[in-house]
Every structure is written in C-alpha cells, then in structure tokens.
Amino acid sequence: MSVPSLIVREHVQRAGWPGLGGAGLLALALTYGVFGLLPDWQSLDTLRQNSQKASEFLEKVANGTATLPVMPAQQLDDFHKSLPTQLDATSAIDRIYAMAGQQKINLSRGEYSLGIDPKTQLARYQILLPVRGSYPQLRRFLHALLTELPAVVLEDVDFQRKKIADTELTGRIRMTLYLSRS
C-alpha cells in the first residue's frame, strides 16, 4: 500500500516547522537508542552472565568440587623452585657426562661459563661440548638430556661427517643450564 505524496505534503504543511522539528528529534532519539544504548544493554547482559558464572564457580569452590586456578606469579615461583640450584650445577654436569657415557659418546673437554640472565635473574651455565659418536647415539643422548634435565636448553647442535662413508659424526652441542640462585 503506497501513500500518495500529496497526502504526505498536506500533513507536513499542517504540522509546520514545530512538527518537523519534533519528527527530527524523534528520529534522533531513535538513532541514539539503537546505536548508543543497545550496545550498552548488550554489555550489561554479558556482565550479568559473567557474574552468574562467577558465583556458580565460587559455589563449586566452596563445595570442594572445583579448585582455584594457579596464578601466573605462583606458576613462576613453582618453576624457579623446580630448577636446580647453583650448588647443584656440578651434579647436573656429571649427569650430562653420565648420559653421554651410557650412549658411548665421546665428550671432549668443554667450555663452561656462568652468568646471570638479566631478564629472569636466573643463573645460567652456558656449556659448549665437542662430541663424537654415531647419529643414533647422539640423537638418543640429546633426547635423554632434554628428558632428564628439563632445565637444559639446547641452543645449537652442529654435526659433521668427515667422509660420506663414515658412521661416526663429530660436532658440538651448545646448551644452557638454567639454575635458581637460592
């Protein structure tokens, strides 16, 4: 059903400027309601839902069916406690040599340097070890190293074969052993 434009013009002329101003204010109020208040109502509804979920979670914690999540600061403290101390550095290095001995890998004399990581304030023991052995031996050694000493980070692994027919590789492994300073 279409409204003839003549009828619309008559109503506009009868309302005059005050009527047009009122219609404009009404359109402005509707626009504000849709674009200004509707998002706020939606965010209020979201906040209510989050509040309800939080109260349900608190009830579960009070009943003992749920536990509080671990805070990041607590996780960091637990991580620092799990690291070996600076006094345990020699035993960790002995374990590295023992793992190499189990795999029958020849470890030459390595280079060691102790420093403090400025970002984490952890002691770090940088180790450069020349190695010699077969590829499977070296691979098992690296796997055992990372499994048994989670505080070790491999930074660089470099293996070379003198001749293509050689089964023995020579190379170097650069790693960092992180230690707690307590």
Q: Domain residues of the chain, as ranges? A: 1-69, 76-179
Once rounded to an integer, what is the mean pLDDT over residues 57-86? 80
The two tokens of residue 101 are 């001995």
pTM surpassing 0.75? no
Tokens for 9, please give them: 């013009």
- Cα 53 from Cα 75, distance rounded (Å): 25
- In DSSP terms, 106 is beta-bridged to 132
Q: At what angle do helices 135-148 and 89-102 cross, to 10 degrees?
A: 150
Residue 41 tokens read as 């109502």
Cα 18 to Cα 7: distance, rounded to the nearest angstrom: 19
- Please check whether residue 102 is in contact with residue 143, taking contact to mean a CB–CB distance below 8 angstroms: no
d(CA 100, CA 28): 79
CATH of 76-179, one of 3.40.640.10, 3.60.21.10, 2.60.40.60, 3.30.70.60: 3.30.70.60
pLDDT per position as a tens digit, 100-138: 889 888 777 888 888 887 887 788 889 999 999 888 999
Mean pLDDT of the chain: 84
Query: What per-residue confidence (pLDDT) applies to 182?
Result: 66
Which pLDDT tens digit goes with each residue over 26-46? 888 888 877 877 788 888 889
Percent of the chain with pLDDT over 90: 18
